[in-house]
Structures are given as C-alpha cells and as structure tokens.
Amino acid sequence: MQESKPLTLRRNLSWNFIGNVVYASCQWGMLVVLAKLGSPEMVGQFTLGFAVTAPIVMFTNLQLQAVQATDAKAQYLFSDYLGLRLVSTAMALLVIVVISLSGGYRWETSLVIFLVGLAKAFESISDIFYGLIQQHERMDRIAISLMFKGPLSLLLLSTGVYISGRVLWGVVGLLLAWVVVLFTCDIHSGVLILKQKSQLQPRWHLKTLTKLGWLCLPLGFAMMVISLNTNLPRYFIERYLGEWELGIFAAIAYLMVVGGVIVNALGESASPRLAKYYASRDYTNFRDLLFKLVGIAALLGGTGVLVAVVAGRQILTIVYQPEYAQQTTLFIWLMVVAGVNYISTFLGYGMTASRYFRVQMPLFAAVASILAITSMWLIPKLGLQGVVIALLIAAITQVVLSLAVILHALHKLHGQILGELK
C-alpha cells in the first residue's frame, strides 16, 4: 500500500468516525471511572485541570492542524509547522506553570493542572502530525492513533485512580499514555508519509515562522475563545457553586460529545475537500457539501434531544450515580445546546476552508463576551439552570454570526466566477 496515496472521502469518513468514537468513548469512560470510584468533587477537580489549560493550549496551537490540512497550495513545509508548534507549546507550558502556582488552588489541584498541561503539550505535538496526515487525506493513520490512545489512556488513568484513590495519579497515567502514543504511533506515521526522517526535523527560519504565526494568529485567538466558550461556565460554577456541582455539570455535559464525535469526524474528513472546492472556485460543490453537513448537524441535534427526553433519567442513573439523575432537565437542555453547537461547528469548518481567518477573532470574542456576561449574571441566581440559559444564548449568537460569514464568502466566490465569465 502506498502510504501517501489519498483515500476516498467515504473511507476517510469511515476511519475518522471509528477512531473518534473509540477515543471519545474512552474519554467518557474516564469520567465514568472517576464518578464510580470517586466523587463528583474528584470529577470536578479533573475537569478543572482541563478547563484551565485548554484555552491556553488552544491559543498557542494556532489551529495549525487545520491550516496545514487545508494548505491546498503547499505554501509551507511540514518542518515549518512543526517548528512553530514547538515554540508555541513551550510558551503554553510556561503560562500554565505560572497559573498553577499563582491561581490560589490547593496544592493537589495545582499539580493536577500542571500535569494536564504537560500531557496536552505532548498531545499538541501529535496534533501537528495529524495535520500532515489529514493534508494527505489518510485519516486511517489518525484513527489508528486514536484507537490506541483512547484505551491506553483509560487503562492507565483507571489504574492510577484505583490504586491511589486520588485523581492526581490518574492524570500521571494519562500523561504517560499520551507520551507513548506520540513516540510509537504518530511520529512513525509521519515517517511513512514523508518517506525521509530528515523531513521531520523542525525548521527554525525566523521570517517563515513569523509569517506563518501571523497568518494563524487569528485562528489561535478564535480557538482560544471557542475553548473559553466551553470552559467559562465551569469557572463560574467552581467559583459560585463549588467543585461538587462542577463535577455534576461536567459529567452530564460530556454526553454532548456523542454527537460531536460524528460532527468532527465529518468536518475533519470534509475540510480538505471543502478547501479544494473553494480554492478552485467550485461554488456549487462547496455550497452543497457545506449545507449537507449543516443538515446532518440539525438531525443529530434533534436526535439527542429526543433521547434525553425519553430516557434521560435512566441513562444518568446507569452511567453515573443516582445524584446525577436528579438533573434530568439539565441534561435535556444541554442536548438542545449541543444541537445548535453542531451547526456552528460545521460553519466554522467552512470558514476555515474558505480561508476566512481574521473575521473569526471578533466573531468568537463577541460570543465569549456574551457568555461571560450572562454566566456572571445568571449562575449565582439560578445555579445550573442559569448555565444552560447562558450557553444557549451564546450558541445561537455564534450560529447567526458564522452563517453571515459563510454567506459573504459564497457571495464573494460567486462574484469572482461571474467576473471571469465576462
């Protein structure tokens, strides 16, 4: 088999879906293990580690995976992407260390935050190899990595928690798993695609790195704000309601990921094709593919709400513990929020594929500002119900603004086509 030969869109989608299902199931399994072996407070502590580190890492990642995957004209080498990622990841770790030491957390929580940040640093390096693989439309290699990473992460985290009874040693196991996957799977895939190990060396050309960083900076900012949109409510819950309530919310909210797995599998598989359609000014295929994806998002969202209404209490009782089942209404409304988010996710893939980077900065900043204001106002008054209202307002705002950008991109593309015909 030729390792660099692209797969068909159908095969890429199938592989990506399977890989993401396995990985997301294992991530969910981690929360289930913490809920079964520990308490909502332990779930909250684990969740807080990711909530604090995720926006920092998402910003410094600069969404290089997506930029590399949609680099249809091959403007930059893999060595450039890797060099920039190593520099930005080092900066992220420095910020995480400062926050973990100066954030006023308990010593164990501070250590959990640092270890989660270190694990995500290794994950960021894997991510840049995923961009290379995605660019060559070989999603089977990413799927194999995820199917190795997910079970190993679940196994080592569960072992650490079971033996020690503390989330700290579970995170140590998670870190070890991500290091093993990077060095045994992801780097190997890069060698198979590029053929020569020399091409995997980072390139430290200052002018090129600066140009690439400046190009991607708006996307890094946008991804940071998207991460903040996910985690802002968690900060307010931890501050106003405590780690116990944060654990309850985080465990239920993770069920939103079920549909998100399908959405991201479709989006990641389709984004190189969307980028090629837009770069070649294929207006009809770009429009049709994108809005087919949006239709799938609406269908997935409706299905999630239906499942929550019919069997929400039973699901929460079986998967977690009886105290989680008392929040069935929260579960239903979170599924509504998820459906709206699925639509905005596909629109986001469309914006990136059409190279609309800078407009994403003010767009997501506006959404984050609305979410922060509504969370600050509603959570102290309404508790977890206030979280859902704030999330829904922000999600609807994001869909409206993202759709406006996509319609502008389509109008501009259509105008270019008409201009060439004259």
Separation CA 347–CA 362 (nearest Å): 16
Q: What single DSSP character describes residue 6?
A: P
Residue 396 has pLDDT above 90, yes or no: yes
Binning pLDDT at 50, 70 and 90, where does residue 122 land?
very high
Mean pLDDT of the chain: 86
Q: Are the CB atoms for 337 and 392 separated by under 8 Å?
A: yes
pLDDT of 210 over the 80 cut: yes
Q: Can you give the pLDDT at residue 3?
A: 52
Which range of 189-193, 351-355, 402-406, 417-421 scores highest in mean pLDDT? It is 402-406
For 83-94, how does the pLDDT look when each residue is reduced to its tens digit (9 = 90+)? Answer: 999 999 999 999
* Closest listed residue to residue 45, CA positions, set 234, 281, 309, 261: 234
Non-local CB neighbours of 228 within 8 Å, separated by 6+ positions: 55, 368, 371
Considering 6-20, 115-129, 131-145, 189-203, the range whose residues carry the highest mean pLDDT is 115-129
Report if residue 158 sits inside a domain. Answer: yes
Regarding predicted confidence, which is higher, 272 or 396?
396
Task: Note whether residue 4 is domain-resident.
Answer: no
Q: What's the pLDDT score for residue 66?
A: 80
CB 181 within 8 A of CB 149: yes
**pTM of the shown model:** 0.73
Summarised one tens digit per residue, pLDDT across range 325-384 is: 888 899 999 999 999 999 999 998 888 888 887 788 788 889 989 999 999 999 998 888
- Of 131-135, 297-301, 396-400, the one with minimum mean pLDDT is 131-135
Does residue 384 fall inside a structural domain? Answer: yes
Maximum mean pLDDT: which of 6-15, 198-207, 262-271, 371-380: 371-380
Asked if 17 and 265 touch (Cβ cutoff 8 Å), the reply is: yes
State the residue range of the domain holding 62. 9-421
pLDDT of residue 198: 65
Q: For position 114, what pLDDT does the model report?
A: 94
Does the residue 94 lie in any domain? yes
Burial of 10 (0-12, 13-18, 19+ CB in 10 A): exposed
Indicate whether 172 pLDDT > 90.
yes
Residue 222 has pLDDT above 80, yes or no: no
Q: Where are the alpha helices (DSSP H) in 326-383?
A: 328-353, 360-382
20: its two tokens: 């993401």
Give the DSSP letter string of 286-306: HHHHHHHHHHHHHHHHHHHHH
What pLDDT sits at residue 283? 78
Dihedral angle sign, alpha carbons of residues 311, 241, 341, 70: negative
pLDDT in the model for residue 1: 39
Q: Which residues lie closer than 8 Å to 337 by C-beta, 6 or more apart?
A: 256, 388, 391, 392, 395
Instruction: Report the C-alpha gap between 195 and 101 in whole angstroms.
Output: 43
pLDDT value of position 226: 75
15 and 139 in contact (C-beta within 8 Å)? yes
On whether residue 56 sits in a domain, the answer given is yes
Top pLDDT among 1 and 324 is at 324
Domain count, the chain: 1
Residue 109: pLDDT over 90: no
Indicate the range of 60-74, 97-111, 312-326, 398-412 predicted with least confidence.
60-74
- What's the pLDDT score for residue 72? 64
Residue 1 lies in a domain: no
Is the Cβ–Cβ distance between 408 and 355 less than 8 Å? Answer: no
Which of 77-81, 106-110, 297-301: highest mean pLDDT? 297-301
State yes or no: pLDDT of 193 exceeds 50: yes
Q: Is residue 279 situated within a structural domain?
A: yes
Identify whether 218 is part of a domain.
yes
